[in-house]
Amino acid sequence: MSLAGKVAVVTGSGRGLGLSYAQELARQGASVIVNDIDQATVDAAVASIIDAGGKAAGVAAAVGSTETAKALVAGALEHFGRLDILVTNAGVLRDKSLLKMTDEDFDLVINVHLRGTFTCVREAYGYFKENNIAGRIIAIGSPTGQRGNFGQTNYAAAKAGIVGMVRTWALEMKRAGVTANAVIPVAATEMTKTVPFFRPAVDADERGEAMPDFYRKELGFGTADDVAGIIAFLASDEAQQVNGQAIGVGGDRLQLWSHPEAVASEFHDGGWDYATLQEQFNVLFASQLQSVGEKFPELPAELAAQIAK
């Protein structure tokens, strides 16, 4: 139990992926502060950890505000005397295409995902630095933030922003011995359950059966528990040299995402005026233009038939 003596806060950990993260951290010896907006949900999650032999306490509060961030750190200190690990998982969805998305839809998702990550990390890092703790920041991203996805302007902006903040924090926190990394999970969640493409995998999981290999291996799509291991690893001393990374995980697949890099560079004496761009841009770059959105391989016939039912 390499996390014995460590204390973790996991936001949005009353159910789903967040609960799996909290349970795995506790399984590896950490004491965990569970967070969600509903007290009954928090209590049930805390009980699941304690019943399994772990240590946990709860803070019911909506993530986003500085007040909640302070309450989460204070909860860790009150119940367990310290804080070593922060996992920012809390999130909401308000999916709509651009012209249908309201200001409220946009602001809510940005507030919980992006601002909530910022306020919680700021509070935790302040504690780490003041107390000379080589803490661990693990922020949860999404393939949508890496590649984009139809109907998710707000979510894509938030998740891309989280990865951008992680890269910045890795620079700012390095001297203090604190690491900051992003995890990009691909798993059966309330959101993916609604996507027909994933239905055979989700149905198998709900029946207590193994997901088809196509999903686990070709797509890197699995259960919430498949993601939890990387959370515990990044929280451990063994991950001290892992910093500023975006790590994808799901099913049987583990990935290291690259940082954005220029794929092609061209130079023109005197710069690139409008006329020169008209003449040369497509010639130089048409074959290098980057794709958007996730590209899924074709489903095997037997799985496609399940979806068509």
3-state secondary structure of 59: strand
Report d(CA 238, CA 221) in Å as an integer.
26
Q: How many helices (H) and strands (E) does the chain have?
A: 12, 8
Residues with a catalytic annotation lie at 142, 155, 159
Indicate the length of the chain as a whole number: 309
Which two three-digit tokens encode residue 230? 């990387």
Q: Which of 160, 132, 114, 135 lies closest to 30, judged by CA?
A: 135
Residue bearing tokens 């032999």? 53
Report d(CA 195, CA 217) in Å as an integer.
19
Which two three-digit tokens encode residue 247? 């790590």
